[in-house]
Amino acid sequence: MRVYFDNAATTPLDPEVLKEMYKVMEGQFGNPSSIHAHGREARTLIERARKTIANLLHTSPAEIFFTSGGTEADNTAIKCGIVDHGLKHAITSRLEHHAVLHTLEAMEKTGIIKLSYVDTDHKGNIDYAHLEKLLQDNERSFVSLMHANNEIGTLTDIERVGDLCEQYNALFHSDTVQTMGHFTHDLSKLKVHFLVCSAHKLHGPKGVGFLHINHRIKIKPMIHGGSQERNMRGGTENVYGIAGLAKSLELAYAEMEEHRAHVQGIKTYMIEQLKAEIPGIGFNGEIDPDKSLYTVLNVSFPEMEMADMLLFNLDIAGISASGGSACSSGTDIGSHVLGAIGANPSRASVRFSFSKYSTKDEVDYTVAKLKDVCLVKA
């Protein structure tokens, strides 16, 4: 049996998305910047996709800018938001994705900003009182806090963060890569200046995403070149990728409640089976359905022989999962997220992440294999 429980790293392409992309690849190959019929067809397709996304998020198409994915979108929002608005202070948490942390740390190292870290508890929850104090005690700030943590699944109340940022005139950027298509985002109400998406996290193609930039603020382009994306991002557009992105988000919104119930059921079932079958099992981050991302479950295993071989043994058994963030898999560096929440370093941790294609049979198979490979000490 082959089991794919690494959907927080990437998701399989939805057949309907593939069909949409293939149609574009086959017949709409024109350069969107060309003025002839082939180019106009491609341009129309891009603008139709932009409008589809904007309608789903209750915003204007003028606020959606296509990118190569979440990392580019995060970098653009952070670098341009800070520099173009002359900000000297930024606030983030130590739990952010490296696309955010490394960008802000590099800007602090070169003296562009002073960087502050908001406190978090042992489950990864933001200390909102501390966030407000940081906003009060410093000059106008740039705040970057993700909606859901990609490793442990803990949710941040971005509505509350947005309200605080508005109160203290701060710019607010949220990495919503893990929640886009899994939660609704109403940008007519959410007080956010930058928000990001990466298509491959919601059964779309790799190499494409978007950055939402609130119309109330202006930034200069990070990538110079042609006049694409209304002079905000030079380079010929990924036309079939953009078509796939729009289709994947459209499907996600149409099927969201059904998929959420299914995936939450899979996650809850795995929690129950692990507790029943493996003594001493634990979980990193929040597992309360109201406080956690329903697609992610970070499991902390009791001390065992050959703990460092757990992921390898799962792979041998045909089970794909991650040891924390997949973006750092294959390195010897421990998870910065688990370190920041004070997780026990002597316990192996595995992130299992689910999708609409996950099944209870796969959970049963995985739990059975875990019992075989864990070699739990008495």
pLDDT mean over 87-98 = 98
Percentage above 90 pLDDT, the chain: 90
197 is catalytic: no
Instruction: Count Cα neighbours of 136 within 13 Å in the Cβ-side half-sphere.
Output: 6
Tell me the two tokens of residue 215: 């119309």
Catalytic-role residue among 80, 165, 197, 327: 327
CB atoms inside a 10 Å sphere around CB 168: 15
Single residue among 196, 226, 254 that ends a domain in this structure: 254
How much helix, strand and coil, in percent to the nearest 5, is found in the chain? 45, 15, 40
Q: Which of 182, 345, 346 is nearest to 252 (CA)?
A: 182
pLDDT digits (tens, 9 = 90+) for 324-366: 543 444 445 689 999 999 998 888 999 999 999 999 999 999 9
pLDDT for 329 equals 45
Residue 138 sits in the same domain as residue 76: yes
Tell me the two tokens of residue 214: 């609130």
Residue 275 sits in the same domain as residue 239: no
Residue 310 sits in the same domain as residue 352: yes
Residue 142 sits in the same domain as residue 213: yes
- Domain residues for the domain of 113 are 15-254
Residue 242 sits in the same domain as residue 273: no
pLDDT for 281 equals 95
* DSSP-derived secondary structure letter, 103: H
> What is the total count of domains within the chain?
2
Residue 61 sits in the same domain as residue 103: yes
pLDDT digits (tens, 9 = 90+) for 158-179: 999 999 999 999 999 999 999 9
Instruction: Count Cα neighbours of 243 within 13 Å in the Cβ-side half-sphere.
Output: 22
Residue 228 sits in the same domain as residue 289: no
**What value, to the nearest 5°, has the Cα angle with vertex 168 and ends 80 and 113?**
40
Beta strand residue intervals within the chain, DSSP E? 3-4, 64-67, 89-92, 114-117, 141-144, 171-174, 194-198, 209-213, 282-284, 296-300, 319-320, 349-353
pLDDT exceeds 50 at position 377: no
Single residue among 204, 226, 254 that ends a domain in this structure: 254
Q: At what angle do helices 360-374 and 256-277 cross, to 10 degrees?
A: 30
Single residue among 254, 280, 311 that ends a domain in this structure: 254
Question: How many helices (H) and strands (E) in the chain?
Answer: 12, 12
Residue 310 sits in the same domain as residue 209: no
Q: Which long-range contacts (CB under 8 A, 24 or more apart) does 330-338 make?
A: 335/151, 336/94, 336/95, 336/98, 336/101, 337/95, 337/124, 337/149, 337/151, 337/152, 338/151, 338/152, 338/284, 338/298
Residue 79 sits in the same domain as residue 200: yes
pLDDT for 375 equals 54
Residue 134 sits in the same domain as residue 173: yes
pLDDT exceeds 90 at position 309: no
Residue 8, domain CATH = 3.90.1150.10
Tell me the two tokens of residue 233: 């991002």
**Sign of the torsion angle spanned by Cα atoms 56, 59, 64, 68:** negative
Residue 295 sits in the same domain as residue 223: no
Residue 282 sits in the same domain as residue 154: no
Residue 127, domain CATH = 3.40.640.10
Q: What is the mean pLDDT of the chain?
A: 94
Q: Which of 329, 62, 13, 75 is nearest to 199 (CA)?
A: 13
pLDDT digits (tens, 9 = 90+) for 178-187: 999 999 999 9
Strand 3-4 versus strand 319-320 pairing type: parallel
